[in-house]
Structure 1
Amino acid sequence: MSIDAAEYRHRREQIMAKIGQGTAVFRSAPMVVMHNDVEYPFRQDSDFFYLTGFNEPEAVAVLAPHHDEHRFILFVQPKDPEKETWTGYRVGIEQAKERYGADEAYPITEFNEKFPQYIQKAEQIYYHLGRDEGFNQTILQHWQRFIMTYPRRGTGPLALVDSNSLIHPLRQVKSAAELELMRRATSISAEAHNRARHFAKPGMYEYQVQAEIEHTFRLQGGMGPAYPSIVASGPNACILHYTENNRQMQDGDLLLIDAGCAFDYYNGDITRTFPVNGQFNKYQQAIYELVLAAQMKAIAEVQPGKAYNEFHDIAVCVLVQGLIDLGLLQGDLEELIKEEKYKPFYMHRTGHWLGLDVHDVGIYQPSPEQWHVLQPGNILTVEPGLYIAPDIKPAEGQPEVPPEWRGIGVRIEDDVLVTEQGHDILTADVPKAIADL
């Protein structure tokens, strides 16, 4: 289950059709040091991987459709048996051409020497100024040299354009092969959540539940967590990105688990909240039912042709009306939403794109007056929540929160594919109805 060479080639062809007389440059991810000389496991840059499938550091991909001989060029680390003994096998120069379809491949050390031939006839350089400051400077220096000599030569790139505008719209719409990988990532994620729900008991520690979740990810062939797993019991559920996972769960706690599996670089992202002892108290149940109602209404808005913001807006409307009904907010519904008086309880948006990155690429709002229109192949999360922190401070003019509500945090999140007919909930195998919990 993976992307084949023909699809990678098709992706590159789409980019080259867009750039015409331009040259596009994509840089691999760097190795990141964990501490001293110990490195984190390598994770390739998503754009670079999307176009090449090449999974090594110290590499550059160049797309030059106007070049007479080479349209797709790879710069990679050459074979080095001594270094490979320590750090693993390298593809090398020749195999980079054969296995990845490059027209030409060079050692990465020859980039500065070889790159100018691929931009000397280009009208623009397409490159995203990313986190690799050293390579950013390399590209800027090549560009500046051509600008300085343009009056004499009459050729060369006069503009540097962000490559994100080329590749991110493509990544936003998933292919059939990508959907298979997403279904596998979300299926493993769902299995891990179901295992965790049956495993968790009062007296256990959050990290023990985390271990069961991440054990399932690897056992089923996943790469591991798509992001640091959140296993938040009791008041910890009111911390959005809580990752310490070291509290002992108490009888009467809710447990919020936000965890997803990475499978071949594609990611699941699920959140469920349930009582550790199997029984909600009436305050917990009221908040849970409200969040679930908001999520169900929001998911119904995920349809082709709908504006991206519509599912968020309906979720906010349901949550705010529910808070009014519970006496936790006071006032007119529309005014409370307009003035964002609900923000102490609900401070994030209701979803994000999902794919090669957990918070995947793609524009949400092309202009202040316009939102992205959902189309088949888009995948997004739908994740409303309510967080009543122990020390919550209500918005100005709003009532104090009674102690029985404090410390309750609930979020419910599913991964939803936009289809031709409507939507498909990829994570539906994880129960969320109260009767099922």
Structure 2
Amino acid sequence: MNNTLLPLSEFTQRRQRFFAQMLDDSIAIFSANKEVTRSNDTEYPFCQNKSFYYLTGFNEPEAILVLIKSATPQAILFCQPKDPLAEVWHGRRIGEVKAKQDYGFDQCFTLAELNEQMFNFFNHANTLYFCRGQNKFFDQQIYQWLETNKAKYRLGVGFPQQIIDCQKMVEELRLIKSAKELTVMREVNVISGKAHQRAMEKTTAGKFEYQIEAEILHEFARHGARFPAYNSIVAGGDNANILHYTNNDQSLNDGELLLIDAGGELAGYAADITRTFPINGVFSAPQKALYQLVLDAQEQCIQAIKPGQTLGYLNELCCEVLTKGLLALGILTGDYQTLLSEKACKKYFIHGLGHWLGLDVHDVGDYQMVNRAQTRPFEAGMVMTIEPGLYIPLDDIDVDVKWRGIGIRIEDNIAVTDQGHENLTVNAPKSIVEIEQLMAKANIKH
């Protein structure tokens, strides 16, 4: 994970904001992720614990961050030591000296010093903060340190009397993006938009879904987003009606649509973009009708985004547009108000309208759910996806055959601003005209 797009001050300011919420004479502990074995002696590409990364910018496994709030607050890192033999096999380590110099910590120690130092830290802390339940092994380690100090209580050794789960504290900080975070998210959206353009340009009948996936990954990496933010969905035809389809192993058929849900990761931040387009470059009349309906719903929802608005309201707005459109197309039949009250469109719009976005694709932050509605008012700095869709499987005998096997989703990434909103997804074509023109030009080149 490359954090060079974010200055050191970004991470020190985040720690200061967390310090401000801590009680006096308290300690907070955060754990980095460990490497995960893929098979035998090979590992998956390392992905850092995002809350640990948010507070440190440090991207090595097994590290520990300790924040001590006393008369002089301290941020302390424990990390792997420099080790020439280990590094020649597994790659360079930052080490405790360079970590202190480059990452703005007050002190740095090696992991070998962890138990001794934690004993001293616990001895002077009244309150302990950690993200309980995220990592059961780390939880056990925390309680082991506590028990070590408790066992020496009669000898005058102190230990925290109060334990507070600080997960929500970190999540609330992460939910509101800074100006520098938004700069990174704009850039990863542009990179991801280029990848979606490339996918449209390279798509032809007879290719396989995984070949288009390869084009997307190539474009991500070419522009600095080495890894995807999540497993890409490249779903031709009826595969688009499987929401989290990631097999990506089927051939692309003339006359069908291709749904691609793919976003790159840059400096830890995710893009999450979906586009749906015709494999042969031209929408059929039924495809065009359904696509335009989904696009209309998306654009009306995006236009309604502003401070104080809620995802719950946007979901209602989306259902109104989709219900009216499905009724006009004859896919739904009956009285509009009755269909709306019965949420009839949810038969075809089978997921929510959007979610928070940031260091995680489905990012952290309380939605303030009330009766399954997301009631939290938007604030400037929040970033979310807006992604309406319609899914009509091949085996749906309740609709005319012309609609069957069509799955459509359109997804953009939207930041809330003081004045309203900013669509970060600026260069991934989504109007029918834009898509058909781009693919026509590509077909001429082919």
TM range (shorter): over 0.9
1:52 equivalent to 2:56? Answer: yes
Please say which of residues 30-39 and 141-150 is displaced more in the overlay: 141-150
Q: 1:134 aligns with which of 111, 117, 137?
A: 137
Task: Give the CA deviation at 1:120.
Answer: 2.7
2:319–2:343 contact (8 Å) kept in structure 1 = no
Distance 1:120 1:336 in 2: 63
Q: 1:432 aligns with which of 430, 436, 442?
A: 430
2:194–2:219 contact (8 Å) kept in structure 1 = yes
Please say which of residues 291-300 and 161-170 is displaced more in the overlay: 161-170
Q: 1:352 aligns with which of 355, 372, 379?
A: 355
Structure 1 stretches lacking a partner, 5+ long: 394-399
Distance 1:341 1:294 in 2: 16
Taking only the aligned residue pairs, the percentage that are identical comes to 43
- Other-structure match for 1:317: 320
1:37 equivalent to 2:41? Answer: yes
Distance 1:330 1:159 in 2: 59
1:287 equivalent to 2:290? Answer: yes
Inter-CA distance 112–338: structure 2 relative to 1 (3 Å threshold): farther
Distance 1:391 1:152 in 2: 73
- Other-structure match for 1:200: 203
Inter-CA distance 275–136: structure 2 relative to 1 (3 Å threshold): same
1:355–1:379 contact (8 Å) kept in structure 2 = yes
- Other-structure match for 1:396: none
- Other-structure match for 2:387: 383
Distance 1:120 1:344 in 2: 58
2:203–2:279 contact (8 Å) kept in structure 1 = yes
1:24 equivalent to 2:28? Answer: yes
1:311-330 CA distances to partner (integer Å, 9 max, x unpaired)?
A: 22211221122222222223
2:99–2:105 contact (8 Å) kept in structure 1 = yes
Aligned amino acid, residue 53 of structure 1: G
Aligned amino acid, residue 264 of structure 1: A
Task: Give the CA deviation at 1:252.
Answer: 0.2
Please say which of residues 415-424 and 1-10 is displaced more in the overlay: 1-10
The equivalences for 1:83-122 within 5 A come to: 83-122=86-125
Inter-CA distance 313–154: structure 2 relative to 1 (3 Å threshold): farther
Q: 1:241 aligns with which of 235, 240, 244?
A: 244
1:16-41 CA distances to partner (integer Å, 9 max, x unpaired)?
A: 11012221111001101111111011
1:407 equivalent to 2:405? Answer: yes
Aligned amino acid, residue 96 of structure 2: I
Aligned amino acid, residue 301 of structure 2: A
1:264 equivalent to 2:262? Answer: no
Distance 1:276 1:295 in 2: 22
Aligned amino acid, residue 417 of structure 1: A
Give secondary structure in 2 for the equivalent of 1:255: strand
Structure 2 stretches lacking a partner, 5+ long: 436-446
Task: Give the CA deviation at 1:146.
Answer: 5.3
Distance 1:330 1:151 in 2: 76
1:43-102 CA distances to partner (integer Å, 9 max, x unpaired)?
A: 111111111111100100010111x66611111111110000011111112122211122
Aligned amino acid, residue 380 of structure 1: M
Aligned amino acid, residue 353 of structure 1: W
Aligned amino acid, residue 49 of structure 2: D
Task: Give the CA deviation at 1:131.
Answer: 4.4
Aligned amino acid, residue 434 of structure 1: I
Kindly report structure 1 stretches of 4+ aligned residues shifted beyond 6 Å.
Answer: 147-152
Distance 2:125 2:370 in 1: 30
Give secondary structure in 1 for the equivalent of 2:105: coil
Q: 2:280 aligns with which of 277, 282, 296?
A: 277
Q: CA-atom RMSD, angstroms?
A: 2.1
Distance 1:343 1:267 in 2: 28
The equivalences for 1:321-340 within 5 A come to: 321-340=324-343
Give secondary structure in 2 for the equivalent of 1:64: strand
Inter-CA distance 14–150: structure 2 relative to 1 (3 Å threshold): farther
Distance 2:404 2:369 in 1: 39
How many residues get paired? 430
- Other-structure match for 1:420: 418
1:166-205 CA distances to partner (integer Å, 9 max, x unpaired)?
A: 1111111111111111111001000111111111111111
Please say which of residues 146-155 and 274-283 is displaced more in the overlay: 146-155
Please say which of residues 342-351 and 26-35 is displaced more in the overlay: 342-351
Aligned amino acid, residue 415 of structure 1: N
Distance 2:351 2:20 in 1: 38
- Other-structure match for 1:371: 375
1:294-325 CA distances to partner (integer Å, 9 max, x unpaired)?
A: 10111012111212322222112211222222
Give secondary structure in 2 for the equivalent of 1:309: helix
Could you state the TM-score of these two structures normalised by the residue count of structure 1?
Answer: 0.93
Task: Give the CA deviation at 1:151.
Answer: 8.7
